[in-house]
Amino acid sequence: MRAAKLQVDSDLHLHDLSPDVETTLTVIVGERVRQYRLAAGLSQEALCVSLGLSRPSLANAERGRHVLSLAHLLRASFALTIELHDLLPDRAALGLPPLVSLDELGPRDLAVARELLGGRRGC
């Protein structure tokens, strides 16, 4: 069973992650892997060994045509001696609205948030 990809916007409505956002994410991550690989002085072949990927798969990922798994991204961060989050874009780069702190919500929106969280009182 595939988990639904969801975002919560500032009005607390749930939306599926759009194909445009997924494509943008794939392209940005691929570009960052390539930039960090080149900065580290690694060839695609050398990084492929660390990732357990074929060179065509890595080449396609760097061009934004192949989605790297979280495990591959984690291995890449180790091989490139960077933090995992360095490979990921922020919400603005993906055209997503900023996150809203629960402290910023009014009473009505806070009630909706509690309902979405299953009535937990911790928010």
Taking only the tens place, the pLDDT of each residue in 24-61 is 999 999 999 999 999 999 999 999 999 999 999 999 99
Looking at this protein, which amino acid is placed at residue 64? G
**Residue ranges in the chain assigned as alpha helix (H):** 19-39, 44-51, 55-62, 70-79, 107-116
Is 122 domain-assigned?
A: no
Is 5 domain-assigned?
A: no
Q: What is the CATH number of the domain that holds 82?
A: 1.10.260.40
Residue 76's domain comprises 16-116
**Considering its fold, how many domains does the chain have in total?**
1
Looking at this protein, which amino acid is placed at residue 63? R
Overall pTM > 0.85: no
Is 20 domain-assigned?
A: yes
Is 121 domain-assigned?
A: no
**Interatomic CA distance for residues 52 and 123, integer angstroms:** 42
